[in-house]
Structures are given as structure tokens and as C-alpha cells.
Amino acid sequence: MSDRSGIFAGDDPFAIARAWLAEAEAQEVNDANAIALSTVDASGLPNARMVLLKDIEDDGFVFYTNYGSSKAQELDSAGKAAFVMHHKSLRRQIRVRGNVSREEGPQADAYYASRSLKSRLGAWASRQSQPLASRSSLMAKVARVTAEHGTAPTRPPFWGGYRIDPVEIEFWADGAFRLHDRFKWTRDARGQDWKVERLNP
């Protein structure tokens, strides 16, 4: 496409996404990798929350969570999700829709091991999304799992990653007079060629 140049140039949407994120990391005050993740429950009611994107792979986007959480149950049930990454300082956003699979292997182990000790112990202590009697009861649980697991806890079996294999990626950049630039990349499944089209603002 002749007018897809500058920040939109390239034949690999994942490379473009990594470049945009790298640029945002130098500008955003906090959590440039934050995404608003959208799922649906069994009745089709939408849900959204902020999570931290931890990897942009050559063919997918990866984040981590507790498998007992509401988001995980909705991801497992529907097998599909969407997210938007908004970089306010750059006036850009990346929208992604796709199929979801779990990441429960060495990659998840390595990411878990890279987290701070308190975050690793917190993953053991929290029954994410479940009712909590009090903050003090949570801290007591943290103390118990600290005594049980010590300073080298292994990744909990109920905690790991999710990978979104996109069938649609849209790159959006703010334009003068609200005449924004939008390019949508679509494909039917992983490994297939992308189709790219410019969208109206």
C-alpha cells in the first residue's frame, strides 16, 4: 500500500507493534505495556480490565495471570479475546482480536522466576477474583506461603500465561482535525498471509 509509510511501514505487524511499544516506553510515565483486555462470560456479557503485556512474539501477544481468575475462566471458555494498548503521550493505539491459548511451559516458568520474590509469593497467596474477608487475612496467607515456599518458590500450577494469536490487528495514530490514520491487518488463522487495508477515521 503506497501510503503506508513512516510509523506504519513494514510487512510484519508484530515488528511494528514492538517498535511502537519501544517508543512508548521512552515516553509513558508508567506501564507502557498496559493493555485493556476484553473477554466475555458464559452469558456473553463483556468484561474488561487492565493487564500488563509481557511479550510480543513473532506471531502472538503474551500476558500472565491466575488461572482461577474471572478473566482466565472467560478466556478458557470463549477461547477468544481482544485488547487495546493506548499510548496517550504518542496519541496512538493498537487494537488486537484473536484466539487464545495457554502458555504453561518453560516460558511461563522463566517469566515467573524473573518476578520479584514478593510478587512470586503473592501469586501463591492470592485466590484472584474470589471474595476476600480482609486485607489482614491476605497478609496472613502471604506469611504462611512464605514460610512454606521460602525464597525460591516454584510457579504455582494455577498461574501462567495466555497467548493471543491475532486474526486482526489495527494500528491507529491521531491525525489533525480528527482525520486519524488507521490500518487494519487481518488473516484467517496463524501462519496465513496478512491483508492490510486503510480505514476511514
| Helical pair 117-125 and 106-114, crossing angle rounded to 10 deg | 120
**What is the structure's pLDDT at 1?**
45
Q: What is the DSSP string of 6-67?
A: GGG-SS-HHHHHHHHHHHHHTT-SS-TTEEEEEEE-TT--EEEEEEEEEEE-SS-EEEEEET
Residue type for 196, please? V
How many residues appear in the chain?
A: 201
* Distance, CA of 8 to CA of 29 (rounded, Å): 24
Q: What is the residue-averaged pLDDT of the chain?
A: 94
Helix (H, G, I), strand (E, B) or coil at 63: strand
Tens of pLDDT, residues 9-25: 999 999 999 999 999 99
Name every residue whose Cβ is closer than 8 Å to that of residue 5 and which is 6 or more positions away in sequence.
Answer: none
Residues noted as catalytic: 178
Q: Vertex 38, ends 36 and 44: CA angle to 5°?
A: 160
Residue 81 has pLDDT above 50, yes or no: yes
pTM, whole model, 2 decimals?
0.93
Residue 4 has pLDDT above 90, yes or no: no
Residue 7 has pLDDT above 90, yes or no: yes
